[in-house]
Amino acid sequence: MKCDFHIHTSYSFDSNASPKEIVDKAIKEGIDCLAITDHGEVKGALDAIEYAKGKPILIIPGIEVKSKEGDVLGLNVREKIPNGLSAKETIKRIKERGGFVVIPHPFGLFCKFRGNLKELIKEIDAIEILNASIFGNGNEIAKKFAKENNLPFTVGTDSHFSNFIGKCYLEIPGENLSAEEIFEKIRKKEGKVVGKEASFFEKVVDHLKRNFVKIQKYVGGKKRKI
């Protein structure tokens, strides 16, 4: 199964891609499993699950939480978890909800995890070793860190729009697996990393679009309050 474990929809403050648009593009690209991980929100994941019923794709609900030390992904989570907690408390709350904990883009140039990852190795389930959207050599550092510490790993495009979907994914052996079966194979490090990052130009355009969407949503929110 071709799995992308880090995807955003219009329920994130920096995306305007509908859950329907994301699911349709993933199916078109031959992706078998998506984890919808909006910033501080689970509604996009729940909408995607509803839309994907009867379609050839597994949607794993999730959330990207901004802890004091950096971002944390909670996969298989259907409830909101507040931002601003410590990384350990964030991880604890994800686990309490039956979630699978991933540290995304831990060494990204502009989104680095600022806590001591080695202190959290026993707390987390995996780290993201290929993110299609980050700048710098963070993916290479993450791969080396995972290897040196014998850590399970995931792959995510970190798509905020549909265009990055399919650029990279984790290939999990088996067909029609459940989320729990996929997580177990990740724990056993049975996944194969496929694909690559977006080009530098694609990343620049992507982040400009994210900032434009942020401004649109901010202005739109201010207008609604008037």
As a whole number, the mean pLDDT across the chain is: 96
Structure confidence by residue, pLDDT tens digits, 29-54: 999 999 999 999 999 999 999 999 99
Q: How far apart are CA 69 and CA 139, in angstroms?
A: 19
pLDDT band at residue 223 under the 50/70/90 scheme: low
Ramachandran angles phi, psi of 54, nearest 5°: 85, 0
Q: How far apart are CA 26 and CA 8, in angstroms?
A: 12
pLDDT for res 220: 76
For residue 66, the surrounding DSSP H or E stretch is strand 58-66
For residue 225, the surrounding DSSP H or E stretch is helix 200-225
pLDDT for res 226: 43
Structure confidence by residue, pLDDT tens digits, 168-179: 999 999 999 999
Domains along the sequence of the chain with CATH: 2-225 (3.20.20.140)
Q: How far apart are CA 118 and CA 107, in angstroms?
A: 13
The label of the residue with tokens 């699950």 reads 49
The answer on pLDDT for 119 being more than 50 is: yes
Structure confidence by residue, pLDDT tens digits, 51-90: 999 999 999 999 999 999 999 999 999 999 999 999 999 9
pLDDT for res 222: 54
The label of the residue with tokens 């990852």 reads 117
The answer on pLDDT for 221 being more than 80 is: no
pLDDT band at residue 224 under the 50/70/90 scheme: low
Structure confidence by residue, pLDDT tens digits, 186-220: 999 999 999 999 999 999 999 999 999 999 988 87
Q: How far apart are CA 208 and CA 2, in angstroms?
A: 28
pLDDT for res 218: 84
Structure confidence by residue, pLDDT tens digits, 146-165: 999 999 999 999 999 999 99
* Other CB atoms within 10 A of residue 193 CB: 16
* Three-state secondary structure readout of 102-171: EECCCCCCCCCCCCCHHHHCCCCCEEEEEECCCCCCHHHHHHHHHHHCCCCEEEECCECCHHHCCCEEEE
Min mean pLDDT across 22-26, 51-55, 75-79, 115-119 is at 115-119
